[in-house]
Structure 1
């Protein structure tokens, strides 16, 4: 079947926008073609520095004939209703059909040639394209990320003729069958294209690698080969690789030299100067693991001298950048923490949450409270927390915000502070994402928890909670960070009793009155939602988190252990059958509760004509209650589940042999007491009513 090839050729597309643009092109083209009734075998998009490309294989030559039935008014409806329906359908009264007193219109649409659909699809995509930023040129009404130069559009090897007005001196961009190769190394004439295979082949012959995956591979292989030839190793950086792959159509890595004197700067400073300002990859010595006095620059040309002049020029530019970094490094060490902390008094954290200095005071007080709970020294925790944000006022972090915390750790060591304090300052932002490492040093854990809790609870207190997909203050990330810090370090901290209440105490001075009870409940519920996400990613059932949280426990370590034990129990036959028994008992009790209170008290045994199954269940429930209580006190949740498992057979037998709603009031009351006791025993472990199944 025919193939559609579309290329939108423009001036340089920013690298950060290319991946999203490829996805948007695929989505928008698909939506418009499907709306026309078209299907296809395969659709692929490509994005590069100067072009967006779409290729669709197996597209039919025409849209299918379609018949659509529209339901209208009743046959005896007022005349105005009938006239409105006729105007909508474009039919006359005698063209309508009647069924069961209702009028229907059948509208037949003949298929049209695909080539008549494509121009509208392309123009719709271009005019509605959701670039994060776009521009107009000349006096154009057309917007694109950069001036749009060409439109290549072939269907079944032939040009699809159309033009799009752009307000330029030529007045329009006309579709055609030509494109351009590399800006400098490609042919100086347009390339005439027949189909996608020819398109890709000609582009490569003219120094354009179409697929971003191929550009990345080309960069990595050539960069590693250049390093290996000198006995060096490339420092991997996936983010930088994504960026440079979007900057060059024919990426050519070149190994350059840098002045070794700059290696006495912190390695993070050197790497970030290379990456942020110059888009260079750092290089390391594989023997020592330390940075080498080299770098990899990805050029967009193949130089005739092998890149010698390019490397030398980039080396000079890098030296200038690193001289700036050295200036910040030297000047910052002349200032110190006291001056930086004073500057924080003039920095607003949030209008409703005060200055950064006030936030530092809150974090320091909270870190002191948390320290004993994680095995850290309270005085050291307060000291580290008080210094943790100071580097925000330093020159280096002003230039490289990504180094906040990291530079604080370096400066702390430079000023002679304890290594543990320096590590806490450096790592207190961790973990910053699901792939980030979790600190384990007690002092760091105390400061990291204090920092995240102050952020999370503070914004909840001023009613700046996440909504839908919006989370401007990264509170979901903060909550997940707290959860991972607690779980990975098995810190026995009560979310409500220890963490949230202590944080709210520090926030008591904010101008807006805080409803502590409300905030406490909202924050704990928010933690429950985040914990469900974390456990779901680990393959755990999210409904079990609800079932355990419903007990009011706020110790995350204990909650997760209980969820894991409950998960394992419900995976057994005993667990599954007991859950079914619980739901049956619970449904009976709920129905009775609508009539009045459920009778409570001791379950009688030895009654006249009492079924053996009733007596057996009463004894089993009493024994299970004691065993479960003992196991829970010891936090032996596996033993608690084993105790519950002993109820499975007696519960099954009870529902088989015993009629709960007996005509004898004494029997009925005793059996309801027994079901209530079974529900209460199981409720010690979890709220089984919230368990799916």
Structure 2
């Protein structure tokens, strides 16, 4: 058995591409090995900013020998058919066999292939994997035609301690034809740039730039570490995290948790060295979100906080240098760069506050929200109107606060700071509103009206915030539905699925008793007022879309989708709070023994009714005649169904779905007794029809609570 080590050394690979690149390269190589008939053991991949590394152990020294048998035409087939078969297998007539079969005498070719040495198979396999890498973006360099994410410097490829032969062509031949895999780089046509497979690599770009040879994975890892390269990504993350925590704790501070930034910074350094710098006091009156965003987005610095969570005038930079003797210069250089960045942010902060937020609303008319849906000012007007409708349906909502919040919600989009940092929209609107003396409820609603933006984002609970956030999302959904720009497959460029989930959370988590269909129609009407051409009815389709999102959301919470479907199938339910209460009651019933047995009895009853309807060619209709009951079980079941009707109606009216389900559970005993003692298909036609009507009544009675035919299992 042999071990394979591959390293592709290049210019810096973008951090966001590294993890996928490592997985893609590993899959391409292992798929190639499988296709070549080469088994293998463990596969380990590594990635740093400059290198993709793959280690595969347990490779055989050669491919297995293969034996393939092919049947050809009949022995007396036309000469052209015989020649075609012989040509396809590369044999002559005397090299193939003639065999008798029940259908005649046929030619058979037995093709035996000797397995090639693994060292001969791997070079071209590696070449194909390198070319097949699915980079989001690629580039060419020098005069070559070869494209990759960044210029390749070297390819280390070692099998059992020896380098693979061959290499990669980076250009085209003198005749302009692409040059494929080169078995021998020394024989490449003149003028063709090549990259030979070898056993050498380099360490850190600045700290250890000289090449060195390696013999295998252990030697490779050890020599890279000596050359200031930490190969393992998780180790680099741990070094960064522990180093930052140690520096901060020495000052009685903590690092602001930022897993995304940690992942990115880990992809920027091969030898991470955390260092602490200081933020000039002059910038500390700028909102902390601005400082944090500027440091994170532009400089990849980590923010530092006090134990109470307040932003501190320090930051952490992760250097890619072992700067023991020059750490002060590294820190001072980063502080100087940060001052320039924060000076811009402070300038925008000061400029934006010179005019009140309300004065910026009119400027939204120059910003296009969507070519077919108008400007941001158009959207503001629609959201104001819809928010007023929502506020009228929400007890306790202050319509004046809701209207002012909706009016100012988008105004910060035209400010300098949001132009520089779009991710701060809403956040900066809150600061500007407070600076202008707007009510705190309005300021919070401006900040929260984009929420919730994901399953882990907090959901607004203040009524003004809820009304504006709900109006904003429903307006967006209705608008895109009206122009026919809906999500398709995995494509959702306007995040409409996320908006639908936001609508669900705002309604459900705040217990809003609203008609979602009516709100959708009001949202569509707002668009029709501005653009009369947008008048198509969309409520049913958009309601179905939101219903699908609700099923997904509830399934993730452990609620069975078929229980939701059973309640949805009743139709006419657009109060999400009431719908989920009914689903919860149904789930609780079906988890009991009575509920499970009742469901089985329902299915039995409906199967009988369905079979007999098909046999008779007509539906079972009409109420059963109590004078035709021949057995006590029929009378008892009829009485139980009547009692159910009496109990369920007031329970549903009071929205006491648990009580309605408990009443339904009382059917179990009389239904079981009916099936145990009564023969439905009686000889007398009138008796049979009456009993079928009684069974149909079971389905009708249970159908007032849910469509039990949708329940699976």
Deviates more, 1:13-22 or 1:576-585: 576-585
Q: 1:170 to 1:258 in 2, by over 3 A?
A: farther
Answer yes or no: is 1:470 the counterpart of 2:491.
yes
Q: 1:89 to 1:494 in 2, by over 3 A?
A: farther
Match of 2:314 among 278, 283, 294: 294
Match in the other structure for 1:49: 49
Post-superposition Cα deviations, 1:195-241, rounded to whole Å, max 9, x if no partner, equal: 11111111111111112111111111111111111222111111111
Instruction: Answer yes or no: is the 8 Å Cα contact 1:160–1:176 preserved in 2.
Output: yes
Q: 1:336 to 1:97 in 2, by over 3 A?
A: farther
Q: Distance in 1 between matches of 2:115 and 2:570?
A: 63
Q: Distance in 2 between matches of 1:72 and 1:407?
A: 78
Instruction: Answer yes or no: is the 8 Å Cα contact 1:153–1:175 preserved in 2.
Output: yes
Q: Any residues of structure 2 matched to 1:52-91 within 5 Å, and which? A: 52-66=52-66
Q: Distance in 2 between matches of 1:665 and 1:73?
A: 68
Match in the other structure for 1:245: 266
Q: Distance in 1 between matches of 2:370 and 2:169?
A: 48
User: Any idea what SS the aligned residue of 2:628 has?
Assistant: coil
Cα shift at 1:482: 1.0
Q: Distance in 2 between matches of 1:674 and 1:460?
A: 45
Match in the other structure for 1:503: 523
Match in the other structure for 1:446: 467
Instruction: Answer yes or no: is the 8 Å Cα contact 1:352–1:512 preserved in 2.
Output: no
Match in the other structure for 2:332: 312
Match in the other structure for 2:567: 548
Post-superposition Cα deviations, 1:540-589, rounded to whole Å, max 9, x if no partner, equal: 21121111111121111122222222223222232222222222222333
Q: Any residues of structure 2 matched to 1:206-355 within 5 Å, and which? A: 206-286=227-307, 288-305=308-325, 307-355=327-375
Q: Distance in 1 between matches of 2:352 and 2:640?
A: 72
Answer yes or no: is 1:133 the counterpart of 2:154.
no
Match in the other structure for 1:607: 628
User: Any idea what SS the aligned residue of 1:587 has?
Assistant: helix
Q: 1:684 to 1:72 in 2, by over 3 A?
A: farther
Q: Any residues of structure 2 matched to 1:27-46 within 5 Å, and which? A: 27-46=27-46
Post-superposition Cα deviations, 1:519-555, rounded to whole Å, max 9, x if no partner, equal: 2122111112111211121122112111111112111
User: Any idea what SS the aligned residue of 1:335 has?
Assistant: coil
Match of 1:147 among 145, 151, 163: 151
Cα shift at 1:108: 5.7
Instruction: Answer yes or no: is the 8 Å Cα contact 1:430–1:448 preserved in 2.
Output: yes
Match in the other structure for 1:406: 427
Instruction: Answer yes or no: is the 8 Å Cα contact 1:348–1:356 preserved in 2.
Output: yes
User: Any idea what SS the aligned residue of 2:157 has?
Assistant: strand
Q: Distance in 1 between matches of 2:62 and 2:599?
A: 57
User: Any idea what SS the aligned residue of 2:284 has?
Assistant: helix
User: Any idea what SS the aligned residue of 2:681 has?
Assistant: coil
Q: Distance in 1 between matches of 2:31 and 2:530?
A: 50
Q: Distance in 2 between matches of 1:654 and 1:106?
A: 71
Instruction: Answer yes or no: is the 8 Å Cα contact 2:524–2:535 preserved in 1.
Output: no
Q: 1:560 to 1:298 in 2, by over 3 A?
A: same
Match in the other structure for 2:478: 457
Instruction: Answer yes or no: is the 8 Å Cα contact 2:452–2:459 preserved in 1.
Output: yes
Q: Distance in 2 between matches of 1:76 and 1:490?
A: 84
Match of 1:530 among 542, 549, 564: 549
Q: Distance in 2 between matches of 1:625 and 1:105?
A: 79
> How many residues align structurally?
688
Q: 1:418 to 1:657 in 2, by over 3 A?
A: same
The TM-score normalised by the length of structure 1 is 0.93
Unaligned runs of 5+ in 2: 173-190
Match in the other structure for 2:379: 359
Instruction: Answer yes or no: is the 8 Å Cα contact 2:25–2:129 preserved in 1.
Output: yes
Answer yes or no: is 1:175 the counterpart of 2:179.
no
Q: 1:183 to 1:452 in 2, by over 3 A?
A: same
How much is the aligned-residue C-alpha RMSD, in angstroms? Answer: 2.7
Q: Distance in 2 between matches of 1:194 and 1:560?
A: 64
Answer yes or no: is 1:112 the counterpart of 2:83.
no
Q: Distance in 1 between matches of 2:243 and 2:137?
A: 33
Post-superposition Cα deviations, 1:232-288, rounded to whole Å, max 9, x if no partner, equal: 2111111111111111100111001111121111100010111111111111122x4
Instruction: Answer yes or no: is the 8 Å Cα contact 1:4–1:59 preserved in 2.
Output: yes
Instruction: Answer yes or no: is the 8 Å Cα contact 1:23–1:45 preserved in 2.
Output: yes
Q: 1:61 to 1:532 in 2, by over 3 A?
A: farther
Deviates more, 1:415-424 or 1:580-589: 580-589
User: Any idea what SS the aligned residue of 2:634 has?
Assistant: helix
Deviates more, 1:129-138 or 1:420-429: 129-138
Cα shift at 1:660: 2.5
Answer yes or no: is 1:160 the counterpart of 2:182.
no
Match of 1:388 among 409, 427, 444: 409
Q: 1:512 to 1:127 in 2, by over 3 A?
A: farther
Cα shift at 1:430: 0.8
Q: Distance in 1 between matches of 2:393 and 2:109?
A: 74
Cα shift at 1:78: 10
Q: Distance in 2 between matches of 1:381 and 1:646?
A: 48
Cα shift at 1:48: 1.1
Q: Distance in 1 between matches of 2:222 and 2:244?
A: 24
User: Any idea what SS the aligned residue of 1:507 has?
Assistant: helix
Deviates more, 1:596-605 or 1:676-685: 596-605
Instruction: Answer yes or no: is the 8 Å Cα contact 1:209–1:215 preserved in 2.
Output: yes
Answer yes or no: is 1:642 the counterpart of 2:662.
yes
Instruction: Answer yes or no: is the 8 Å Cα contact 2:47–2:53 preserved in 1.
Output: yes
Match in the other structure for 1:428: 449
Instruction: Answer yes or no: is the 8 Å Cα contact 1:374–1:445 preserved in 2.
Output: no
Q: 1:295 to 1:667 in 2, by over 3 A?
A: same
Q: 1:511 to 1:204 in 2, by over 3 A?
A: same
Answer yes or no: is 1:397 the counterpart of 2:418.
yes
The TM-score normalised by the length of structure 2 is 0.91
